[in-house]
Amino acid sequence: MTALVAAALSVLALLDGAFAGFRASAGRTGLIDHRRADQLACLRGAVLVCVLLVPVVAIASTEVALNRPHLAVFTRAGEAMLAVYGPYGLVVLAALGCYTALGWRNRYLASAVILGPLTWLRPAVAVAGAILGGAVAVDPLVWACAGLAVAAVLAVEPLAGRLWYAPTRPPLAT
Amino acid sequence: MSGMRSGLVEITDLLWPVDADGRRLPVRRDEVAGRLAGAGQRRAARIVSRMPATGGVLDPEYLDALGFRVHCELQRLGEELQLGRRVAALLEPLLARTGAVRVVDVGCGLGYVVRWLAATRPLGDLVELVGIDLNPVIVAEAARLAKAEDLDCRFERGDALAAVGAMKDGGRTIVISTGLLHHLPETDLPQFFAAQAGLGVTAFAHWDIVPCAWSTLGAWVFHQARMREAVSRHDGVMSARRSHSADVLLTAAQSGAPGYQIAVLETKWHPRALDVLRPVLGVRS
């Protein structure tokens, strides 16, 4: 069960990182063809979230290795977090499926009705999951790990923006 | 529903004034902030008050860079709304029917629609694609972007209310715009349509936001979620609030372009926000 919870949270974090990288890159260059730039941005976001989550994974792994009974506490917290992030992630993936399946005239609806509002709610959802995880575990270290994990996930988009997409070239003078 | 909410101002309408020759005029920060505050838009006034200025005049380099960033964000919105495809779907049969050879996008900004049409060529290879905008820096940027992707289209500086330069052969030209009409006060709309009718253009099609509570709410959520610039977030919502109703557009177009068959291609069912942007279409009789 622990492995399943950890794997599910990891997949969700990776997907969220990839989408955050995409958002950091989108609407920066004005070019028409930006497919490869989008792919690179997703990759950068996914790598960045992995790097930012290293301290959390290290702390949790060390604690569990040294204090085996603590594994059940972390698992409980992970399940609680998954109860929040799982449905959110599934709705996002379903909306992306709709975006792909719908004809071009109605494609924007997936974005306007679901993806846009969910992106807006994302920080609140991330914090809610961490609070639930911490509350279920009732453990200071789990609280700290959940808080660090949420901070890491929410930092991806602004950090990617600063690292790779900060506007540097001034526009043409006339 | 009535037309444009009187008095509401978009920040971007005030930041890039030019003289008749296209030279940029200095912009006094306190004047812009004062005008926004006077319209009851205190948040917008605060946004402008935080912009860098020297001797009370807003830093022109900052404004140019801001303009580019805001237009890039706006292009992203255009991509999500499939603006290029929406325009192409209407123009393709219109071009075939009228024999027009040129499409001119007035108030084109970075020229997303023109460049998308040039990149994907849904209208064929023989249609000339031109973009016009009042802001010389944005026009230069549009041209730079077109060159960067080797696109066959061109951009000129010009006033949407006149736009004569690119339309000397008006009889074979279709004039379009996307998201421009709400920038014009209701009183200027007949003149806008009259300028195109005066040039004898084959047809015009101007897309703009459907004014309703849903489009305003949608604009707010979308801009909060997607836009990085405070200016974009403010102006995006203001655009929806200022947009003109179908009745206002129809009346203005019929008044300004009496020799044209006019229609606002808006569905009758609600919520009309599902249309996103709908065109007012005029075809020379």
pLDDT greater than 90 at residue A111: no
ipTM of the complex in this document: 0.87
Sheet with B128-133, edge to edge strand ranges = B154-157, B128-133, B102-106, B173-178, B203-209, B277-284, B260-264
What are the residue boundaries of the structural domains of chain A, listed by start?
2-164
- A–B interface: beta-carbon pairs under 8 A: 87
Q: Name the H helices within chain A.
A: 2-25, 35-66, 70-101, 104-109, 116-137, 140-164
pLDDT of B212 reads 86
Contact yes or no for A174 and B137 at CB 8 A? yes
Provide the 10 A C-beta neighbour count for residue B212.
Answer: 18
Stated as kind and residue range, the H or E segment containing B192 is helix B189-198
Across residues B81-103, what is the average pLDDT? Answer: 94
State whether A32 and B151 contact (CB < 8 Å): yes
**Any CB–CB contact under 8 A between A102 and chain B?**
no
Mean pLDDT over residues B41-67, rounded?
A: 95
A104 touches chain B (CB under 8 A): yes
Give the residue from A32, A106, A172 with the most B CB atoms within 10 Å of its CB, the best one to mutate.
Answer: A32
B119 → chain A, closest CA residue: A32
User: Checking DSSP bridges between strand B154-157 and strand B128-133, what pairing results, if any?
Assistant: parallel
pLDDT range class, residue B214, cuts 50, 70, 90 = confident
Q: State whether B72 and A109 contact (CB < 8 Å).
A: no
Distance from CA of A35 to the nearest CA of B (A): 12
Distance from CA of B187 to the nearest CA of A (A): 32
Which tens digits make up the pLDDT trace of A29-66? Answer: 999 999 999 999 999 999 999 999 999 999 999 999 99
Interface of A with B in 80-99 (CB under 8 A): none
Tell me which chain B residue has its CA closest to the CA of residue A116: B222
Give yes or no for B14 touching A (CB within 8 A). Answer: no
Q: Find, among B171, B252, B162, the residue nearest to B208 by Cα.
A: B252
Q: Per the CB < 8 Å rule, is A30 touching B119?
A: no
Share of chain A above pLDDT 70, in %: 96
Lowest mean pLDDT among A89-103, A107-121, B90-104: A107-121
Give me the pLDDT at residue B2, please.
41
Structure tokens of B177?
């715009």
CB contact under 8 A, A107 and B82: yes
A173: confidence class by pLDDT, cuts 50, 70, 90: very low
Nearest Cα residue in chain A from B110: A30
Alpha-carbon distance of B130 to B167, in angstroms, equals 9
- Whether residue B145 has pLDDT greater than 50: yes
Using the Cβ of A138 and the Cβ atoms of chain B, whether some distance falls under 8 Å is answered with no
Closest CA of chain B from A19, distance in Å = 12
pTM: 0.91
Chain A neighbours among B 204-243 (CB < 8 Å)? 218, 221-222, 224-228
CB-based contact B184:B176 (threshold 8 Å)? no
Compute how many other C-beta atoms are within 10 angstroms of the C-beta atom of residue A87: 11
Counting Cβ atoms within 10 Å, is residue A90 exposed (0-12), middle (13-18) or buried (19+)? exposed
What average pLDDT does range B23-43 have in this prediction? Answer: 94
Residues of B in contact with A98 (CB under 8 A): none
Looking at residues B257-280, what average pLDDT do you find? 82
pLDDT for the residue A141: 94
pLDDT of B164 higher than 80: no
The closest CB to that of A171, out of B22, B68, B226, belongs to B68
Report the gap between the CA of A70 and the closest CA in chain B (Å).
38
Lowest mean pLDDT among A7-16, B40-49, B223-232: B223-232
Domains of chain B, CATH where assigned: 12-64 (no CATH), 74-284 (3.40.50.150)
User: A119 contacts in B (CB within 8 Å)?
Assistant: 225-226
Nearest CA in chain A to B223: A116
Please tell me the predicted confidence (pLDDT) of residue B44. 97
Q: Is the pLDDT of residue B65 over 90?
A: yes
Contacts of B63 in chain A (CB under 8 A): none
